[in-house]
Amino acid sequence: MTSQATVWTNPPAGEQELVAWFREMRDRDPVQCDPKGGWHVFGYSEAVAVLANPADFSNTVTEVPETSPLKLFGTGNLAWMDPPRHRQLRSLVNKVFTPRYVAGMRPVIEEVAGQALRRIRRQDTVSFVDEYTFPVMLTVIARLVGIPREDYPLFGKWLKVLLAITETQTQNLIEVFSALTQEMHRNVHALIASRRRAPEDDLVSMLIGSELDGQVLGDDEIAGLVALLVATGEGGATQTLANAILCLDQHPEAADRLRADSGLLDGAVEEVMRFRSQTTRVARRTTRDVPLAGHVIPAGEMVSVWLTSANRDKRKFDRPDTFDMTRSPNQHISLGSGIHFCLGAPLARLEVNVVLEQFLAATESFSIDYPNSRLLDPRMICGANEIALRVRWRASEAPDAR
């Protein structure tokens, strides 16, 4: 039978309050209905069940309004697709993200991260996102896609405004984003046209040279894939690094352990993703009446899958509210699950690992200046637009004596 919670409270804005709210919701019922509309999934096994079933829980949640600037990139956006087209396009991009290719990106990431570190290592205060992680991740994904260096500033500004909209949706900000999206759309199509004339060793050229069922991809489909990979490839890794710094600031002993033993980094990165899941929730829509955890969710209902809550489910994780870098196994779903598992997960893990390792090796300690940092609304995205960081560099990295 269709049912709903007798008492519903809206999610609070504070991080600790939100964690407590998730715990309360899971304990009450891992699947609940909001009397005002929509369903919410809080439990781990229930979340995995939804994400693994695209036939009943469609990723095509709603049509993008014709007036939305994102409509320009809607055709090839895997995040808005269901099978079979999703499977076909994903298989093409998977040809790039092979283990061999990802491993080959390590020297590039090390080089770019090292350059960024040299620019900031004479500062005793650092804008961690703007001065370190953002330019590194933008450069790596831009090289992968094939974006010309002269277009980096445009793509960077677009990404920053896209993230800023999660903080506040002023009319001016929306207008700026719309104008930037249109300019970026023109540039991406110009890039595609250029690569059709003269292919190079990059993702755009690979997509141009690929076929699906004997047909080449259209420019709009390629442009949508490029926009998705730029937004998720840069934004996901940047926010994971921001969350790593937030975790290590709150657990400085963990930072010391990582400096002493870099072999702990892989586990630390996974625990950061579980403990502070960047993507708070994802949405699905039911295609029929679907039974789930003792409820029947009617067809056409919006379903919010709270990844952050699922990653704290005590039925799955021992001591779920404890940050434990040695947690094993650590089957978090911060990168998704099922057919929509993060396309660039191996590359993102490598990026975060390399950039974090270099930063820790260059520093003795750091602390966050919270009043001058800008954390994001955890109900939307867990992370930060900026982290103001006080840094104590190692002797070889320290600023010159003043």
- The answer to which of 99-103, 331-335, 396-400 has the lowest mean pLDDT is 396-400
Report in angstroms the alpha-carbon separations of 168 from 45, 180, 181, 348.
33, 17, 18, 27
Q: How far, in Å, CA of 271 to CA of 240, rounded?
A: 11
The pLDDT score that the predictor gives to residue 298 is 97
In the block, which residue shows the tokens 């002269």?
150
Give me the domains of the chain, ranges plus CATH numbers: 15-397 (1.10.630.10)
Residue 49 has, within 13 A of its CA and on its CB side, a CA count of 14
**Mean pLDDT, rounded, for 209-228:** 83
For helices 252-260 and 265-275, the axis angle rounded to 10 degrees is 150
- The answer to which of 104-113, 137-146, 218-227, 359-368 has the lowest mean pLDDT is 218-227
Element housing 211 (H / E): strand 211-212
Dump pLDDT digits (tens) for 278-324: 999 999 999 999 999 999 999 999 999 999 999 999 999 999 999 99
**Mean pLDDT, rounded, for 81-96:** 72
1 pLDDT above the threshold of 60:
no
Dump pLDDT digits (tens) for 17-31: 999 999 999 999 999
Q: What residues have CB less than 8 Å from 225, skipping those under 6 apart?
A: 76, 77, 78, 89, 93, 207
Mean of all residue pLDDT scores within the chain: 88
What values do phi and psi take at 61, rounded to 5? -75, -45
